Structures are given as structure tokens and as C-alpha cells.
Structure 1
Amino acid sequence: MKLTIVLLALVGCVAAFSVPTQKVKIADKEFLMKQKFLFEIVYRVDDPLMFEEWIKAGQQLVVDKAQYQTFDFYMEKFWESYKLGALLPKGEFFGSLVKTHHKQAYGLFNFFYYANDWETFVSNVAWARMHVNEGMFIYALTLAVIHKPEFQGLILPQIYEIFPQYFFNSKFVYEAEKFDYEVFSKLIMYEKEYKDILYKDVSEFSDNSYFYTKDWKTWQWWKMMGLGEHWYVEDKFFLRENFGQFYNDPKYVNVMQGLKKFYMPVDYTRDIAFFNADSKLTYFTEDLGWNAYWYYLNMDYAFFLDGKQFGLEKDRRGEWWIYNVQQILARYYQERLANGYGEIPDFFWYKQVEQGYDPQLIYYNGVGYSYRKNYYEFATYGNFDMLYQVQNFFGRVNKVLENGYFKTADGVVIDLHKPESLQYIANYLQGNADTEDKYFLNYWYLLAHMYFADVDYNDFEVFPNIFLNFETMMRDPFFYTFYQKFTDVFYKFTYYLKPYTQKDLFYEGITIKDVSVSKLVTYFDIVDFDVTTLLNDKMTFVDGEFVWDKALLARQARLNHKPFNFEFTIKSDKVQKGVVRVFLGPKFDEYGRVIPLEYNNQNFVQIDSFVYPFIAGVNTIKRSSKDFAWTSEDRITYTELYKYVMLASEGKYEFPLDISEPHNAFPDRLVLPKGWEQGMPMQFYFFVSPYTEEYEQFSNFDYTYSSGVGTGTRFVDTKPFGYPFDRPIDEYTFFVPNGYFKDVKIYYVDTFAKYFEQKYPNFGTFDYSIEY
């Protein structure tokens, strides 16, 4: 946990180095009551609601217009659809990018968002929990909790804790859903006897022949420890990189006392089938934090929300969205290089897509997700009208960029060859509500995803497809191939901008003399994800309060890195403030050739940014990867949060509003690509620019528990995102004293090698000495 809130950001978010000291707020009884409601209303959401208090509260949807700030068209349509029995049925697949589903979800969101008081909100949410499609309900509720101003500080469990089905393979989900505690208790006794016999004489072996490594994959750590692919009882702490912060707290130990914990090992889709070469990257593309980041980015800046009403235009919502797309692609490219792969494949409308993908996911209604075979042709869908619309969008945007201007329907002419015009292009690309040409450009983005999922305009009940929801689409390698179309437009826009001159980049009086970087080491550690919502067990209530006495955990190996440090030596000729930006980029392509900077600027990922008050003379600045303000460590789980809330409700614990990492922070462990055992050549770029106090950061929101979405003061200055890599680079003018390149290597350490190299003395049990 961090005591200061982390701002929404992928690599590149501008955050302050030093922030004003601010006392952490403690939740009062009213806040705890609201938080308890949110935690309980989403518990096992695909099962009937079992909390009597909320069943009584949700007897009807409030349709009295006087109870709302506004009662709009979408709310009217939603209510009419319910009365006619035309809502998406419970149990059916919900796709937030299916046009028919989107309209209903928009109406439900408005019923939540525009409610005048908490009682109306509770009534509507509880009613929707019992009557509305589960996926639609969670989508609308998440948007409301994030955007409703009076809900600052309130949180929902992470999306992968509410719907583990979106993140873990069907094999695991089936095992979790048929888990029976009573039966499991008896199995433990039999299993112990079985293991005593099986491993009694294991010491007689003089080699590792009993490992049968020819049948195993090196990432299946549980087999290397002698464990099978089933459930295990757990009497220790939840595994995660920051478990010490919790386990050493007596209150935490007290909270978790009596909780029965069970874990099951699970890997990515590569565990089941190596579909193609891209399967090697599933540890990255299917990472829960990686996919959750994209989901919450699109919740915070949902394409259909009006920028003025929700304050999103203050945050430069379109620019921030397309910048995140560019950074996601750059980070993915770095991971490809770490595995010996080259550039992200291009996408052509009438050519085969080489990379197939089988998500091996199952929806909570039991229907499996669609898969795409290798060398697939999307044109075979036959819905050419929809295909032409998507193609025409890119053709039209490229055409207006070439012409240099855009004329709106009401006759306004916009010059597209100016830097400030990026906001228009970015809004077009996201297809958001702030586009200038709403008639043509709204919803094209939604239609593109519908086409790739083989969903027609008016389809209502559709097959599950990963391209229809933000939380699942980044699993597919085709996501990165298609989204290059977005960045192609972005780069075409920047092509018409003049490169920065040396005068533009030069910061008078500042010289970076040196930056030392500690050793960069990556490895795989093991973490427990809370999947208790999959538990197939009766709920126990004592005096009307739910007894949360069991926890199911998905134990998974994932990429991480050792903490690393920078030490800056920067000379300043006077007292002044500056913004220090840190970028990480590749040095060579997959063939070992140096990538020219004029092309490589697209591959740099901004990993840190902070304000520093320079003194006159030499400044020595020490900065740790743990200081990155936009990243998060492992989050406290749903089970733990609920128990903390209940303890605080009883007056036995002070519940701080910053108890959990924010929903929209980027995972710290994914800052570095995997690297190589012999060291993967990379390079840092450090850049210092003047700090222009155009506004005071955090001036209108409490950063200790709010990410400030829609406030306009989340970023430290108004420089373009990615500056100074946001324009084409002229190498003759790019190098200035306040910029500094540093060659580094990233070393990968195989955490599991020891299980092959020597006999594991506790074969058949989990190795708690595994490095973290």
C-alpha cells in the first residue's frame, strides 16, 4: 500500500516528485456503510442476491423524475425496455462494445449516476443486481462509482476479483466452481496418506529422473515442486510482493484469523496449448494487471461520456487515450524484443492475420469464448457494409490530414497541421463524445470491434468474444496489430509538425552531467489472486451479518523486477524548478542492428516524471523505482478489504481511505521488459525541462484517495504527453545538455532453474523460500 494516491497513468504520466504533506483521512460510519454495501452487492454477482437488507432495498427501480438531477432519453428507453421484457436477459453474454448492449448499459448508468441521494442510488443498484444482466450491471456500477463526484474514496473490488472468468482459463474456472469444502476436507486426509507413500523414498534418487521434465513446461512451477493441478489448503499469508506490510501488522493477523484459505496453481494459455509463436508472450499479454489497466483507462475516459459534463476535456481525454495506446504498443514491442521477436505485424484488410488466438476463457453462463485460427481472413465474415465503414473512417481521417484541414458540419474549419489540433485527431480516433463531427465519427470505434467479433448492427444475444470488452481484448496479439492503425494516424499527424529545434529543447543553465543506474534484474515470482467469488458454497449469516470464512486463491507466476535506483548528477547555474522525465527504449532491433533515433522515438516508454527544485551548483538526486508515483504494488484483496470494513464498522479498526492501491495505476512489476540472462541492451533517456507553474497540481482534489479524473490538475504541466518524443526527431538538433542517454542491460534470472538443477528437498510441497 502507498500512503499517497497514484495518478492514472501508463508509462508517461506526469507526477510530482514532492507533494504537500496531507493527513490520511479515516472513514466515518457513513462511509463504511456505503463501502460495505458496494462490497456486498457485487459478491458472487452471477448468483442470486443473498443479503436480506439489500433484497428489501431493491424491490423497485425508482422512476420518479423528481429523484434525479436529470431524466434523459437513455433512462426512458431503459425503463421502456424493462417493461417490455426487452432488456438483455440475465446469464447472457454482455459486451460493452455491442451497440445494442451499450445503449441499455448507458441508460442503467444514468439511473445510478443521476440519483439525487444515496437511498435512491441503493434502491436502483439493488434492483439492478436482481433484475439486470450481470455484466451490464457491473459495467454501469463501475462507471458510476468512478465518476459520481460524491463517491470519491469509495472503491469496488478489482474487475478480476468480480469476474475472474475474464482473466483465468476455463480449466481453472471449472475447478474453482466445483470446489466443495466438505469434500475437500476429506480429500486432504487421503492425499496426505498418498503423498507419504509416494514421496517416502524420494531421497533414493540420485538424479532428477522423477521430474519427467520431457512432459513439463518450465513455467509450470507447481509440477517442478511435485504439486498437482488441484486445490491445496493454505495456512499462511496471501502471496504477493508486499505481503510483509500486511503480515507484520498485528491487526492484519487478527483480521485474517480463522479464514480458511485454499489455492490452486494456474498458468496462462501456453500451459494448455502452444497455439503459435505468440503463445510465448502470454505471460505478458494475459497478465491481470496489464489487462485491468486498459479496462480502467476506458472506464475513466469512457468514449460516450460528454467531456464538458464529466470534466474529461480538462484532462485532454482524447490525447491521453491515444498516448496510452502508443505507449502500450511500445511496451509490447519491448517485450517482443526480449523474446527474440521483431516488429508488431501490420494489418491489411484483405490479407490473412497470421496470429490466431484461442483465449480458452469461459463466460459465467458456461459458453466458451470464440477463437480465431491461424492465418485467418476477417473479410470472410461477409458483412462488407460494416467493414467498409471502418475502412472509410481511416481513409477519411488520413485524407483530411493530407489536406491539412477539417470542415465540420456547421462550417467550422480546423487547421490540422498545428500541434494543438492533436485533440481533434485524438477524439476522432477514440470516437468519443467530444468529436467535432458527431454524425460521422461517433461509434465507429464500437463498430470496428463488433466487426472483428462477427457481431452485426442489431445483434442482441451474441457469442462471447474477447474483442467486445476492454478487460479481455489485450489478451489477443491481434489487438496490437489492429491498434497500430490508430498510431499510424497519430504518427501521420506528427509528421506534419516541425521537429523541435535546439532552441525549443534547450533549458538554459541546466546540464545533466551523469546518471548512474543500478543493476536491472527481472524474474518471475508467484502471487495469489482472490477468486473467492467463484466459490460454490452456501453463504453463512450470523445475526444478519455475512461470515466470510473461506477464500479461494489463484496462485500464478508473473513477471516482476528487482527495485532499481537512479542517481542523477545535474548542474544548475541558479535556483529553479525543473521537470525530470525518464524514458526507457530499445537499443537494437531483433537482428542486432542499432535502431536510428528518428524511428526509435516511437519505442520509448516513459517510466517516471517528477518536479525537482534545483539549487545553484551540482545537484545529486537519488530516485528509486519504488518512488514512481504512477505505479502500484500488489493490491489488497477483496477478502481482506471486506474484513477490514467489517472490523472498522465494529469500531475495532480505523479504515484509511488510501488502504488500497488505486484502481487505475499501472503495475510497477511491468515497468521493465523480461530481458535476457546474458543481459538485454536497452537505453534510458533523461530529460529536464522548465517547470511552468500554469496551475497548482492537486489543487482541486485530495490526491491521498482520489486519482483526480476530470479535475484538470492531474498533470504537472501542459507539455504534450511523451514530450520531447512527441514529434519527429532531427538528430542534428535533438541533443542538448539537459538531455542524456544511458546504455543499460536488463538481466533475467530464472527463478525456477534450481528445481531442475538440484533435487528439491521438500518435493510435493510449495516452496515458500522462493525469491520475492
Structure 2
Amino acid sequence: MKLTLVLLAFVGCVAAFSVPTSTKVKIADAEFLQKQKFFFEILYRVEDPLMFEEWIKLGQKLVVEKAQYKEYDYYMEKFYESYKYGALLPKGEFFGALVKTHYKQALGLFNFFYFAKDWATFTHNVAWARIHVNEGMFVYALTMAVIHKPEFEGFILPQIYEIFPQYFFNSKFVYEAEKFDYDVWSKLIMYEKEYKDILYKDVSEFSDSFYFYTKDWKTWQWWKMMGLGEHWYVEDKFFLRENIAQYNKDPKYAEVLKGLKKFYMPVDYTRDIDFFNAESKLSYFTEDLGWNAYWYYLNLDYAFFLDGKQFGLDKDRRGEWWIYNVQQILARYYQERLANGFGEIPEYFWYKQVEYGYDPQLIYYNGVGYSYRKNYFEYQTYGKFDMLYQVQSFFDRINDVIETGYYKTADGVVIDFRKPEAIKYIGNYLQGNVDIYDKYFFNYYYVLSHMYFADVDYFDFEVFPNVFLNFETMLRDPFFYSFYKKFADVFYKFKFYLAPYTKKDLSFDGIKFKDVSVSKLETYFDFVDFDVTNLLNDKMTFVDGKFVWDKALLARQARLNHKPFNFEFTIDSDKVQKGVVRIFLGPKFDEYGRVIPLKYNSQNFVQIDSFVYPFVAGQNSIKRSSKDFTWTAEDRITYTELYKYVMLASEGTYDFPLDLSEPHNAFPDRLVLPRGWESGMPMQFYFFVSPYSEDYEQYSNFDYTYESGVGSGTRFVDSKPFGYPFDRAVDEYSYFVPNGYFKDVNIYYVDTFAKYFEQKYVNYGTFDYSIVY
């Protein structure tokens, strides 16, 4: 929990400085708590029938009187017509946010939520949709409405991996969770202890092959290395997460968890015991819940079908921000590849085989498994050549436009593609959003490309689950990075035609780096409990009309993390002035140990922080911790805990702060650094200070203690291009300026599991809590 709300999202060009911890935090009133309770209950076990009588009564009909809406548009009319004629996507069917026939219905439902004039109309529609509308479509539309509806600033929804754990955990785990029964569980443990006592015996009786198998996988089946079986365990301590110590110090926290029975089951990523292919080695990263959730929320904040002017997204430079995020995701993925001995992200053209297959091992909540791709797969076997050629032509068109240098729209407007500000047109085009510069010629390519790779035709309605059809699942597949590299190539091609920055352009007169020291960079695998209570197959208990939330199911997973690290800057300034400090992290060598020239390496740098600093005349000593990064978030408080906090506050025994949870769209702090090597992985920082523009407006129209500021136009540190000064083709000489500083570092990976496969764990058969202290 941060009392200073993190403001944005990914790779570092967001908030200008850490919000002072003295900022007064708003406390929720009774009305807020009642509304918050509604959101938590309406999303409880969303694939099951609604069981809350209070909300069932509200959901008898959809409000269709136009006077109850700020706007009643075409999509709302079509949605209601589809409902009347039984043409809505049925409940229980797979919902794909990038299936053309699905997202149009989702847009209509979103509008019924978003344009509702008052809370009563909104809740009637939400309760109705919870009962009558496809579950995936309902969650997608509701989440987006809460993000964008101004009245709902400060409200918290469960994380997407808590609402639909099926999108994030393998089918084996989901089956086990759905079978969980408390009464049977207690007997199973007794029987397993009696009949499978091998799990609790001295490890010396195991053969050497067992240890060879586990040590090669590191995090693979970590529970076996502790002598635990693949079943549910009672949790008598606390939820595991990196910031749990803050909660344990709060006396109210014990009261919140009083009477709660907690059970956890160990789970790893969806790697096969035998290699499916070499790319499986990266599954701890590509299938990380925080990594995938970040992309999901980015694409809800700036959903491709939302009008930029209507929702204020154009003020946030939505297209430029989206394609910049794509570039940074690819850069961060490349860094993780290097940490594991891999090289460049493979490129696959339309006619080539995809060497690396992928089996997500996911199962949708209706019981249908996700489709998989074999090694050396050819997408052309799908047929659908008209769709394939259409997607190809979209890339050809934008490349032709960039090479030509201008574009004349259907209504005669000429756009100069040799100007830096034209990046907004490139970004809008690549995202395929509705702000595209010529809707007549450029439309639907983004949706069509994902439909093609998921083997979905233009007008398909009931489709098989595929990771490429939803934002929260597509980053799992290695092919995502190969395909999105084509997006980045268009981005780089546009930047190629812009003049590189000269040394004069990058110089900041009067500012000079004297030194930067960086503390040791260490990564490791720790443990976290993800709340999967929505999978619980158990009766719901009500006392005096109040729901008794007395059980929590937790998925305990090993995940990548890093120890806190610090910077100490020594910077000279010849006068009092403000500057923007940017921090970039990039590789030093390629997979063969060759130094990567900055000309080619600039696209591999990830911006990890940026902040405004008021320099004084003379020497400035600045200390900055990784804990101060304003765009990252620590582990979020769980669904179960939040609900119990709300109920406690509703009883008047707790003040519910609006900043209790981390923001939905912040990037996981623990993924800032690549895994590194035990011997130390060579990397490099680039520190850069640029002038701060006093006329740039920040934090002016949203309360940064609990709002994310989407659509405010004031989220970013300044008005420079995202990624500045690496946003253009690089002349390496120009970057050696007094206000720029390169620093070589090493990232060390600490193997926290070594003591288990080296047979040094003395409490074999129990979870090792010493590892989390």
C-alpha cells in the first residue's frame, strides 16, 4: 500500500515527482462504502448465478428510457435490439474483446453503463447485465465504465486475475480449485498423510535424478523441493506478498481477517515437464500476472473504440502512448531474453513457419480449453486469405505513407509525416483506434489481425478460446512479441525520417553530472498469494442479510522480484532551475557477448523513472530509491481483504482510505529489472536531465491520492515525446553531453531455491516461511 498514489503505468515517463506523504488522504463516507460494496458483490463468482437478493431485485429489467441517459446512441439501440431478439452472446460462451461481433455488443453495454444519468439507473443496468449478459462481456464493459466514468473516481474493483483466475492459471490448478470442499479437504489431508507419507520422509531416500530434475527448472514445482504435495494447505499465518509487513503492523488488520479460513495451493507457470520448446524457459516472465494485467488495463484505459475527444484520451496522446508502450514492452522482453541466453526477438513474415509453438494450458470457465499452436506452425493453413491480404495491405499502406512523407485524406487534408508531431497519427493507426486520420481507408486492421491469428472469421459469433483474442492473455504467447515487432518497425521507420538530435539539441546549459552511484542490483524469486476465491465451489452463507465471507482460496506462486536499490546523484548547476531527470536501463552486450552500438541499442532501453527536481546553484546531491518510482506499484491488497475492510468500515469501526489499494494501471515494481545472472549480468544506465517547462500543467484536475488521471491530459512529466531523448534515430556522439551520464552496472541473480535441491532444508514437508521474512 502506498499512501502516495502511483499515477501511471509503464516505463517511466509518467509522474514528475513522488507525491508528498503528508498529502491528506480522503476517507470514504457511508454512501461511498455502500457503492463500493455493490461493486465487490456484483463481481463475486461472476460465472455463477447472482446470489445477493438485494441486487437480484434491481436486475429485473434493463432501463431503456432515453431520458435516463446523457446520450442514447446507435450502439445502445443495437444492443437492446439484439437482446430483444435473443441475439446477444449467450452466457457461458467465450468472449473475445478483439472479436468484431463481440466488441460491438460490449460497446453497447458499456454505453448503457457510462451514459446512465444517476446511480439508480446505473445499478439497475449493472444488476440486469450480471444476470442476463455474457460474463466476460459484462466484466469487460463494467471495468471500463468504472475506469472512465468521472463519478466513479476512487472506486476499487478486484483485479482481473481475481475476477477470472482462469485467464492466468493453468487448467490443472483451476480444476483443483473448483473441486475444493472444506469438509472433504480436512479428511483428504488426513488420508494423504497416512497413505502418501513419502512426502514427509527424509529426502535422502530420493534418487539423484529427482534433484537433477528440480534444480534445472529452478521455480518449477518449488513445492516438491519443500516436500509439499499438490493439494490445498491451511494458511495459519498471513497472505504472502512483498508489502504484507505494512499491514501486519496495523492492529485493524488482525480484526479484518478474524474468522477467515485461508487455504493455499502451490502453483507454477504452464511449463511442460519436458520442454515444449526453448521459449518455455521464459514462461515465468511472459505468464506473470502483473505483466499481463498491465497490458489489459492499458487497453481499457485507452480502448481502441473510445472516441478520443469525448473521453479526453487525445489529451493523453493516446496513440503515441500506446505505441510507445508496445516498444517498451518489446524492449523489456528482450532484456529478459538476454538474461536467459536468448537473442533478438524472432521475426516471422506472413509466409514463414512459426518455429516456436505455444500451449497455454488454460481452460475457459465454460470448460472449453484454449487452442494451442504446434512448433513450426504455418498460419496460412487457416485459409482466410482475403483476411490475411487485408492485414498485409494495412502494413504496406502505412509504410508507403511514411516513405512518401505525407498523406492526403479523403476530405483533402494533407498530413506531413516528416514532422515529429505526426507520431499521433502513426500511433492511432497502429492501435487501430477510432481517432485514426482517415476512417474511410483505414479501419479494423488491428481487430482483423488478431482474429486472423486466432482463426476467427469476419462474422463468427461463437468462437473457441484463444489467447490472442483478449488483452489479458495475449502476452503469454511468444508469438505476440514477434508480431508486435512489426508495429515497432513502423514506429522506428517513422522516427528514421526525423533528424537525429544534435549535441546542441540535447545539451542543458548549466547542468553537469559529476557522478552517479548505484547500489547493488539483486533479483530473486519470492512468493505471493493470489486471491482465487472466485473459483470457490461452496455454499454462500448470509446472516441477517449480510454475506459471510469466511473462506479464501489462494494461489501461491513463485515470481521474479528484486531487492530495493538506490541512486545517489551528484549534479552541478550554475543557477537555481528545475530539470526533469530521466533514468533508462539497457543492455550492454548481445547474446554473443558483443557490445551493442548505441545506434542499434537505443530501442532496447527501458525508461524506469522520471522526476522533476529543483536544482540549487552549486552542487546538488540527490538520493533516489526504487521505492520512489512514481509509475510502479507493489503487490495489491486482495479482493477478500478489500471486501472485509469495506464491511468493517460500514460498521463504523474503521476509516476506509480511498488510497487503500494500488492503482489499477501501474506497472509491477518487481519487474523493473531483468532476472540477471548469478555471476552478474552486464547492463547500463543512462541518466539524462532536460529543462522543465514551467508552463506545463501537472496534477491540476485530478486528485492524485486516489485517481489515475486517465483523460486528464496532465499525467506525464512534461510534453516531450515519450522515450525522449531515445525517441529518434541516434547519433551516439550527441549523447555524451554534460547533462547525460552512462553508468555500467551488473544485475546479480540470487538463487533462493538452491538450499532445497541441495537437500539442506531441514523442515521438509512444510512451507518454508523463513524465505519470506
Same fold at TM > 0.5: yes
Aligned to 2:478: 477
- Aligned pairs for 1:590-669 (under 5 A) are 590-669=591-670
Cα distance in 1 for partners of 2:646, 2:18 equals 31
Aligned to 1:743: 744
- Aligned pairs for 1:101-140 (under 5 A) are 101-140=102-141
Cα distance in 2 for partners of 1:18, 1:642 equals 29
Deviations 1:614-636 (A, max 9, x none): 11111110000000010000000
Q: Secondary structure at the match of 1:653?
A: coil
Cα distance in 1 for partners of 2:288, 2:594 equals 30
689-698 vs 457-466, which moves further: 689-698
Aligned to 2:16: 16
Cα distance in 1 for partners of 2:300, 2:14 equals 20
Cα distance in 2 for partners of 1:392, 1:65 equals 41
Aligned to 1:218: 218
Aligned to 2:254: 253
Deviations 1:1-22 (A, max 9, x none): 0011111221122322244653
Deviations 1:227-273 (A, max 9, x none): 01111111110001111011221100111011111110000111555
Q: Secondary structure at the match of 2:459?
A: coil
Cα distance in 2 for partners of 1:202, 1:351 equals 52
Deviation at residue 771 of structure 1 after TM alignment: 4.4
Q: Secondary structure at the match of 1:606?
A: strand
Deviations 1:312-362 (A, max 9, x none): 000000000000000000000000000000000012110101111000000
211-220 vs 273-282, which moves further: 211-220
Cα distance in 2 for partners of 1:707, 1:272 equals 41
CA contact (8 A) 1:513 1:569 kept: yes
Deviations 1:365-421 (A, max 9, x none): 000000000111111111011101100000000001010001111010000011011
Cα distance in 1 for partners of 2:502, 2:69 equals 54
Cα distance in 2 for partners of 1:726, 1:357 equals 33
Cα distance in 2 for partners of 1:467, 1:224 equals 34
Deviation at residue 190 of structure 1 after TM alignment: 3.2
Deviation at residue 439 of structure 1 after TM alignment: 2.0
Aligned to 1:276: 277
Q: Could you say if the C-alpha distance between residues 634 and 19 of structure 1 is closer, same or farther in structure 2, counting changes exceeding 3 Å?
A: closer
CA contact (8 A) 1:532 1:553 kept: yes
268-277 vs 117-126, which moves further: 268-277
- Aligned pairs for 1:138-217 (under 5 A) are 138-193=139-194, 198=198, 202=202, 205=204, 209=207, 212-216=210-214, 217=217
Q: TM-score, normalised to structure 1's length?
A: 0.98
Cα distance in 2 for partners of 1:151, 1:649 equals 19
* Residue 675 of structure 2 is aligned to residue 677 of structure 1: no
Deviations 1:654-692 (A, max 9, x none): 000000000000000000000000000000000000010
CA contact (8 A) 2:199 2:227 kept: no
Cα distance in 1 for partners of 2:291, 2:753 equals 23
Aligned to 2:49: 48
Cα distance in 1 for partners of 2:348, 2:497 equals 24
Q: Could you say if the C-alpha distance between residues 346 and 119 of structure 1 is closer, same or farther in structure 2, counting changes exceeding 3 Å?
A: same
CA contact (8 A) 2:18 2:629 kept: no
Deviation at residue 759 of structure 1 after TM alignment: 3.1
Aligned to 2:36: 35
Cα distance in 1 for partners of 2:200, 2:260 equals 31
Cα distance in 1 for partners of 2:209, 2:154 equals 50
Cα distance in 2 for partners of 1:277, 1:210 equals 24
Q: Could you say if the C-alpha distance between residues 227 and 18 of structure 1 is closer, same or farther in structure 2, counting changes exceeding 3 Å?
A: closer
* Residue 356 of structure 2 is aligned to residue 364 of structure 1: no
CA contact (8 A) 2:610 2:717 kept: no
- Aligned pairs for 1:517-532 (under 5 A) are 517-532=518-533
Aligned to 2:535: 534
Deviations 1:413-467 (A, max 9, x none): 0000110111111111111111111122232100110000000000000000000
* Unpaired segments ≥5 residues, structure 1: none
Deviations 1:705-757 (A, max 9, x none): 00100000111210000000000111232211000000000000100001122
Aligned to 1:392: 393
Cα distance in 2 for partners of 1:280, 1:560 equals 17
Cα distance in 2 for partners of 1:272, 1:240 equals 27
Cα distance in 2 for partners of 1:756, 1:267 equals 17
- Aligned pairs for 1:682-761 (under 5 A) are 682-761=683-762
* Residue 12 of structure 2 is aligned to residue 5 of structure 1: no
Cα distance in 2 for partners of 1:432, 1:481 equals 21
Q: Secondary structure at the match of 1:491?
A: helix
CA contact (8 A) 1:74 1:107 kept: yes
Q: Secondary structure at the match of 2:112?
A: helix
Cα distance in 1 for partners of 2:510, 2:339 equals 38
CA contact (8 A) 1:208 1:759 kept: no
CA contact (8 A) 2:587 2:682 kept: yes
Q: Secondary structure at the match of 2:441?
A: helix
Q: TM-score, normalised to structure 2's length?
A: 0.98
Aligned to 1:445: 446
Cα distance in 1 for partners of 2:18, 2:387 equals 50
Q: Could you say if the C-alpha distance between residues 613 and 291 of structure 1 is closer, same or farther in structure 2, counting changes exceeding 3 Å?
A: same
- What letter is aligned with 2:7? L
CA contact (8 A) 2:200 2:227 kept: no
Cα distance in 2 for partners of 1:632, 1:676 equals 25
Q: Secondary structure at the match of 1:583?
A: strand
- What letter is aligned with 1:647? L
Q: Secondary structure at the match of 1:345?
A: coil
RMSD of aligned residue pairs (Cα, Å):
1.3
Aligned to 1:543: 544
Q: Secondary structure at the match of 1:414?
A: strand
Deviation at residue 198 of structure 1 after TM alignment: 4.5
Aligned to 2:75: 74
Aligned to 1:508: 509
Cα distance in 1 for partners of 2:692, 2:95 equals 46
CA contact (8 A) 2:8 2:14 kept: no
* Residue 563 of structure 2 is aligned to residue 565 of structure 1: no
Deviation at residue 214 of structure 1 after TM alignment: 4.2
- What letter is aligned with 1:58? G
User: Sequence identity, in percent?
Assistant: 82
Q: Secondary structure at the match of 2:770?
A: coil
Cα distance in 1 for partners of 2:59, 2:713 equals 36
CA contact (8 A) 1:7 1:13 kept: no
Cα distance in 2 for partners of 1:617, 1:18 equals 24
Deviation at residue 126 of structure 1 after TM alignment: 0.2
Aligned to 1:402: 403
Q: Secondary structure at the match of 1:726?
A: coil
- What letter is aligned with 1:11? V
Cα distance in 2 for partners of 1:272, 1:252 equals 40
Deviations 1:276-306 (A, max 9, x none): 1000000000000000000000000000100
Deviations 1:36-86 (A, max 9, x none): 000000100000000000000111000000000011000000000000000
Cα distance in 2 for partners of 1:291, 1:13 equals 20
Deviation at residue 643 of structure 1 after TM alignment: 0.2
Cα distance in 2 for partners of 1:482, 1:324 equals 15
Aligned to 1:461: 462
Cα distance in 2 for partners of 1:289, 1:199 equals 32
- What letter is aligned with 1:110? N
CA contact (8 A) 1:522 1:674 kept: yes
Cα distance in 2 for partners of 1:251, 1:576 equals 45
- What letter is aligned with 1:616? A
- Aligned pairs for 1:759-770 (under 5 A) are 759-770=760-771
